[in-house]
């Protein structure tokens, strides 16, 4: 590693360092900043992620660099937030999780109610569906599709990158932006009745908000940095680059480090090639390459070279063990301590399949971070069980006969009963999603009242009443009424898989499956997998509580196995990695000629330090 400044070495005011996974990019950037600590002028180091910023703070502290007004480390978003506060824009800060949990479900319901005809697949109110919608809103913003003057222009910009129908995304984005200005925390209403603070933003929306602020260029927070260092440059969007460029003066020195093959944020509007090339062309930047990895051995480096198209050399290290596990074998690596292992899948669809596969092997005796119990299809069966029995499946006690119907591996009696409060909260969540379907004809206000009062007994009584009467405004579509009556006529011992298959067809639950992308494939696949598992286990309504309770207990995001998508695993490394549905060449099924798929495989592959297993998919 050079002890000479690259600015001096290349006689350039701008430097682009192109590295690879595990090449010490952040360490190198921190050392370059350290070399200029005694020079006149303020130094700023920017990172895309909070985790990246923490790593930079740790590295610079170890090197003896004191952070102060002259030496600053921040994420791009945090710097934009600081500038907004300086300019008096102090909207409440919400996390993405809070937006998914508190904002989007009601927003989606309101938007869907405004469509006179919905000939497209609308999101369910599941947590996973809301995350997919949030990705769409982020892409719609980052790509500037909302500025397009016609629907055709929006279609051209978005292409096939959206999870949901463009019409729905555009309507949700418009409502979301209005809400970001008018929403307020109830706890922030003063004693006088006036709102003390209105509006909200996520940290990732700060750059956009600041860039469109009337007094953006007057912010003192963004001025007078002589040296600017940018980490994780491969994750920077064109909008963020424009924001950074506004801080680069004629006498500034700027250095960026990144890895072209790590761009997997296409949905976020990131375009690594554009950003890298624009940086080099705009500032006539010198380019430094670091194609040497300290994380893994040459075996992994060779696989990474094929995936990235770059020749990567590796440090002399013990060989990383690479092996395969068939779908019917549980990978022993998943039994390692949580902080040393991760299961990584290509995307949310594949992660859902991986979670089902883990559960099939462990039957709830193993904890992992993916919440299968909140899948829309699981909620639906919970609601149908309550309709037949007036009981929550999470509180049901199985008969000895029902217990004996299951193979060893389930042990409901050995587990403590799920708390009443937890079961009540879970059932409320299930009912809310049930009433969100397009087959429900209630107004938003009526839905809210029914959901608020819902418990298994009242839900059964309410549904019975509306299924039996022939007058008045219907609560459900005719197809759903017939499907629900079919469920009620069935016996508790009847095989559940064919019964549910008939129910879905009669109700038309997946009739518009072809009108959306990943979102529809995600929900339809989860339904097919559930039916397949129920069939293999010989499950009936009588024994469904065993499944429901097992799925509920399997989730633990604090102490359970880390189940991550490639995007979630970026920036992390693990001693042991299980790559789901992959081989030594790519994720499976292969997507020939799709650059983002190769980048995703490259990122997943290069998270490992000691032992890598490829796990074959059941699905």
Q: Residues 329-383: pLDDT tens digits?
A: 999 999 999 999 999 999 989 999 999 999 999 988 899 999 999 898 999 999 9
For the residues 4-18, what does the mean pLDDT come to?
Answer: 96
Question: Do the annotations mark residue 305 as ligand-binding?
Answer: no
Cβ atoms of 175 and 167 closer than 8 Å: no
Class of the CATH-defined domain 321-356+559-615: alpha beta
Please tell me the predicted confidence (pLDDT) of residue 362: 93
Question: Is pLDDT at 318 greater than 90 in this prediction?
Answer: no
Contacts of residue 390, defined as CB under 8 A and 6 or more positions apart, other chains included, come to: 456, 457, 459, 460
Dist. CA 58–CA 18, nearest whole Å: 22
For the residues 222-234, what does the mean pLDDT come to?
Answer: 94
Question: Is pLDDT at 455 greater than 50 in this prediction?
Answer: yes
Q: Residue 89 phi/psi, 5° resolution?
A: -95, 100
Question: Is pLDDT at 505 greater than 60 in this prediction?
Answer: yes
Classify residue 102 by its DSSP letter: I
Q: At what angle do helices 127-142 and 348-362 cross, to 10 degrees?
A: 160
Please tell me the predicted confidence (pLDDT) of residue 190: 44
Which has the higher per-residue pLDDT, 191 or 276? 276
pLDDT in tens, 418-440: 999 999 999 998 998 898 787 88
* Two structure tokens written together for 274: 């554009």
Residue 192: pLDDT band by 50, 70, 90 thresholds? very low
3-state secondary structure of 218: helix
* Two structure tokens written together for 378: 């699981």
CATH architecture for residues 1-88+213-290: 3-Layer(aba) Sandwich (3.40)
Question: Do the annotations mark residue 20 as ligand-binding?
Answer: yes
Name the average pLDDT for the chain.
Answer: 89
Please tell me the predicted confidence (pLDDT) of residue 239: 83
Contacts of residue 237, defined as CB under 8 A and 6 or more positions apart, other chains included, come to: 142, 265, 268, 269, 270, 271, 275
Please tell me the predicted confidence (pLDDT) of residue 511: 73
The single residue listed with the structure tokens 């399949």 is 353
pTM above 0.95, yes or no: no
* Two structure tokens written together for 320: 């990383």
Please tell me the predicted confidence (pLDDT) of residue 592: 65
Question: Is pLDDT at 464 greater than 90 in this prediction?
Answer: yes
The single residue listed with the structure tokens 């639950």 is 509
Question: Do the annotations mark residue 257 as ligand-binding?
Answer: no
Q: Residue 48 phi/psi, 5° resolution?
A: -70, -45
Question: Do the annotations mark residue 582 as ligand-binding?
Answer: no
Which range has the worst mean pLDDT, 23-37, 65-79, 250-264, 506-520?
Answer: 506-520
Dist. CA 537–CA 110, nearest whole Å: 39
Which has the higher per-residue pLDDT, 189 or 172? 172
* Two structure tokens written together for 280: 């080099």
% pLDDT > 70, the chain = 92
Dist. CA 390–CA 399, nearest whole Å: 17
Question: Is pLDDT at 151 greater than 70 in this prediction?
Answer: yes
* Residue from 373, 350, 349, 353 nearest 126 by CA: 373
Contacts of residue 167, defined as CB under 8 A and 6 or more positions apart, other chains included, come to: 120, 151
Dist. CA 149–CA 169, nearest whole Å: 16
Cβ atoms of 133 and 436 closer than 8 Å: no
Helix, strand, coil percentages in the chain from 3-state DSSP, rounded to 5: 50, 15, 35
Cβ atoms of 403 and 413 closer than 8 Å: yes
Scored b (16 or more CB within 10 A) or e, 67-106 reads eeeebbbbbbbbbbbbbbeebebebeebeeeebbeebbbe
Question: Order of strands across the sheet with 71-75?
Answer: 71-75, 42-47, 225-230, 253-258, 14-19, 286-290
pLDDT in tens, 305-316: 999 999 999 988
Residue 593: pLDDT band by 50, 70, 90 thresholds? low
Please count the other Cβ atoms lying within 10 Å of the Cβ belonging to residue 399: 11
3-state secondary structure of 426: helix
Please tell me the predicted confidence (pLDDT) of residue 569: 94
What is the chain's alpha carbon radius of gyration, rounded to the nearest angstrom? Answer: 27
Question: Do the annotations mark residue 22 as ligand-binding?
Answer: yes
Question: Do the annotations mark residue 392 as ligand-binding?
Answer: no
Question: Is pLDDT at 185 greater than 80 in this prediction?
Answer: no
Question: Is pLDDT at 410 greater than 60 in this prediction?
Answer: no
Please tell me the predicted confidence (pLDDT) of residue 411: 53
* Two structure tokens written together for 520: 């529809």
3-state secondary structure of 506: helix
């Amino acid at each position: 590693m050079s002890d000479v400044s690259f600015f001096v070495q290349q006689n350039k005011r701008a430097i682009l360092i192109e590295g690879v996974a595990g090449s010490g990019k952040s360490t190198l950037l921190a050392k370059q900043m350290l070399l200029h600590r005694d020079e006149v002028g303020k130094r700023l180091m920017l990172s895309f992620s909070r985790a990246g910023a923490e790593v930079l703070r740790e590295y610079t502290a170890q090197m003896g660099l004191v952070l102060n007004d002259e030496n600053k480390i921040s994420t791009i978003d945090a710097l934009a937030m600081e500038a907004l506060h300086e300019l008096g824009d102090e909207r409440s800060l919400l996390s993405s999780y809070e937006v998914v949990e508190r904002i989007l479900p009601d927003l989606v319901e309101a938007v869907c109610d405004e469509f006179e005809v919905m000939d497209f697949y609308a999101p369910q109110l599941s947590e996973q569906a809301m995350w997919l919608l949030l990705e769409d809103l982020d892409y719609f913003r980052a790509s500037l599709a909302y500025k397009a003057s016609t629907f055709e222009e929006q279609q051209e910009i978005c292409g096939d990158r959206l999870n949901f129908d463009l019409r729905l995304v555009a309507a949700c984005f418009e409502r979301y932006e209005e809400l970001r200005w008018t929403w307020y925390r109830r706890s922030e209403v003063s004693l006088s009745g006036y709102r003390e603070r209105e509006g909200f933003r996520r940290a990732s929306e700060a750059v956009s908000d600041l860039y469109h602020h009337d007094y953006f260029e007057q912010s003192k927070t963004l001025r007078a940095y002589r040296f600017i260092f940018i980490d994780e440059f491969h994750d920077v969007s064109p909008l963020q680059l424009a924001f950074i460029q506004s801080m680069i003066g004629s006498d500034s020195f700027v250095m960026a480090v990144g890895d072209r093959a790590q761009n997997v944020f296409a949905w976020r509007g990131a375009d690594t090639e554009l950003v890298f090339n624009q940086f080099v062309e705009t500032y006539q930047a010198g380019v430094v390459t670091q194609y040497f990895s300290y994380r893994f051995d040459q075996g992994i480096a060779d696989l990474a070279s094929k995936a990235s198209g770059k020749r990567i050399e590796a440090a002399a290290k013990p060989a990383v063990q690479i092996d395969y596990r068939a779908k019917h074998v549980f990978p022993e690596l998943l039994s390692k301590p949580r902080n040393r292992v991760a299961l990584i899948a290509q995307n949310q669809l594949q992660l859902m399949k991986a979670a089902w596969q883990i559960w099939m092997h462990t039957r709830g005796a193993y904890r992992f971070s993916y919440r299968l119990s909140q899948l829309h299809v699981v909620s639906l069966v919970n609601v149908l069980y309550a309709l037949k029995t007036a009981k929550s499946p999470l509180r049901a006690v199985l008969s000895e006969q029902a217990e004996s119907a299951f193979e060893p591996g389930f042990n409901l009696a050995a587990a403590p009963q799920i708390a009443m409060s937890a079961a009540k909260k879970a059932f409320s969540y299930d009912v809310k999603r049930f009433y969100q379907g397009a087959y429900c004809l209630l107004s938003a206000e009526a839905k809210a009242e029914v959901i608020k009062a819902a418990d298994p007994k009242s839900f059964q009584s309410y549904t019975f009443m509306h299924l039996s009467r022939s007058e008045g405004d219907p609560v459900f579509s005719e197809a759903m009424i017939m499907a629900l009556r079919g469920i009620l006529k069935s016996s508790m011992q009847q095989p559940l898989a064919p019964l549910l298959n008939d129910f879905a067809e009669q109700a038309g639950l997946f009739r518009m499956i072809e009108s959306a992308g990943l979102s529809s494939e995600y929900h339809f696949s989860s339904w097919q997998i559930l039916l397949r598992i129920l069939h293999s286990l010989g499950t009936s309504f009588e024994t469904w509580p065993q499944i429901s309770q097992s799925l509920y207990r399997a989730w633990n995001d604090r102490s359970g196995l880390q189940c991550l998508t490639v995007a979630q695993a970026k920036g992390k490394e693990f001693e042991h990695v299980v790559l789901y549905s992959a081989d030594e060449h790519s994720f499976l099924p292969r997507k020939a000629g799709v650059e983002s798929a190769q980048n995703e495989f490259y990122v997943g592959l290069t998270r490992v330090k000691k032992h890598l297993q490829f796990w074959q998919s059941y699905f």
